[in-house]
Amino acid sequence: MRDIQSIRIEVKEGFFSRRVLYMEIRSQGAIPLTRTDENLTPQEIEQKAVELAYFLHVPIKAF
């Protein structure tokens, strides 16, 4: 739990837009938490990120 640095939201807009939620871990990099084909709305991905970041006591980063 101490190695978790942050929760990251990656948004790529365009013809095939995608939103992915990642957990950044110190020694392992970023681990995806949502599937790329899940097609979550901006509000849904933000809500998931907020809940997870609050539970883990880590910041949220958006890219």
Checking if the pLDDT of 42 tops 90, the result is no
Sequence letter at residue 1: M
Q: Which long-range contacts (CB under 8 A, 24 or more apart) does 29-38 make?
A: none
Distance CA 44, CA 21 (A): 11
Across residues 4-11, what is the average pLDDT? 92
Least confident span in 4-8, 30-34, 38-42? 38-42
Where are the chain's structural domains? Answer: 4-62
Checking if the pLDDT of 29 tops 80, the result is yes
Sheet holding 29-32: strands in order across?
A: 29-32, 18-25, 4-12, 60-62
